[in-house]
């Protein structure tokens, strides 16, 4: 039977029986896989405490029947103690890994996904790092790699380019900006927020991360959470919780984008 040794991050672990766990891993070489970890709840020798959140590990996987592979062993490669010491970073990193689990297709290897996820953990580890901005930029990078990136440079209806240094309105149902002549998107994104999210779609996404003003941060969070909810047809728990915590009552009118795809587009003179 084929055995693979690869680096991995834990995306989810579910207890199975009295001794085992079923784990979901994001791996460098196999993409996202589900694995049975026999004895994971009782054996410290085989797994060496590696099956913990926010741990970069090296795993040995053995192919099995069907989609579930067997996790033979795991050992830590890198841990992130500073991240674990910051509650805001833990919340944002947890939301980021949940987004990985829900967006990434199974058995679709793309080393860039694993690299982006470890870069995210490294960035969250940094002292004073803007955790929420890092999460937003990471989600933008993740959507770009998955082919789900929002269009933030122009109106999604008429194609009119938005001013590069100006604010613009985003419509999560459309997955793009929507100018005033075409209906106006419900979420106003500042020029700084748009620039950060657009820059994050590239391979050097960490360079785009910058501190945002509280209102900019809230609008960016609502836009990313609503965009993913529409694309995935479900709410991500981590992002949803952050929207409630950061945006409060403002989320009520913006968390449920209306699908106005049947609306006739009008002439567009400005974004």
pLDDT in tens, 202-235: 888 999 999 999 999 999 999 999 999 999 999 9
How far apart are the C-alpha atoms of 105 and 64, rounded to whole Å?
19
pLDDT per residue as tens digits for the range 140-181: 999 999 999 999 999 999 999 999 889 999 999 999 999 999
Q: Architecture of domain 3-79 in CATH? A: Beta Barrel (2.40)
Q: Architecture of domain 82-251 in CATH? A: Up-down Bundle (1.20)
Domain range list for the chain: 3-79, 82-251
Stated pTM of the model: 0.90
CA distance readout (Å), 245 to 131, 186, 208, 221, 234: 14, 20, 24, 11, 19
How far apart are the C-alpha atoms of 189 and 197, rounded to whole Å?
10
């Amino acid at each position: 039977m084929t055995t693979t040794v690869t680096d991995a991050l834990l995306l989810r672990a579910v207890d199975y029986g009295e001794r085992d766990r079923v784990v979901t891993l994001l791996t460098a070489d196999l993409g996202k896989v589900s694995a049975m970890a026999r004895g994971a709840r009782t054996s410290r020798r085989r797994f060496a405490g590696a099956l913990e959140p926010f741990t970069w590990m090296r795993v040995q996987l053995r192919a099995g029947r069907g989609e579930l592979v067997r996790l033979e062993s795991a050992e830590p490669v890198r841990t992130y103690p500073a991240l674990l010491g910051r509650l805001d970073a833990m919340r944002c990193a947890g939301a980021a890994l949940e987004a990985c689990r829900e967006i990434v297709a199974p058995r679709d290897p793309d080393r860039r996904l694993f690299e982006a996820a470890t870069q995210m953990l490294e960035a969250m580890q940094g002292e004073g790092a803007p955790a929420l901005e890092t999460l937003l930029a990471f989600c933008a990078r993740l959507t770009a790699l998955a082919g789900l990136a929002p269009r933030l440079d122009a109106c999604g209806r008429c194609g009119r380019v938005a001013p590069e240094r100006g604010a613009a309105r985003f419509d999560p149902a459309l997955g793009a900006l929507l100018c005033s002549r075409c209906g106006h998107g419900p979420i106003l994104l500042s020029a700084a927020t748009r620039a950060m999210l657009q820059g994050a779609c590239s391979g050097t996404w960490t360079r785009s991360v910058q501190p945002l003003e509280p209102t900019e941060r809230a609008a960016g969070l609502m836009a990313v959470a609503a965009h993913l909810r529409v694309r995935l047809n479900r709410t991500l728990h981590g992002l949803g919780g952050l929207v409630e915590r950061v945006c409060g009552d403002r989320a009520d009118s913006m968390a449920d984008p209306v699908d106005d795809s049947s609306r006739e587009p009008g002439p567009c003179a400005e974004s």
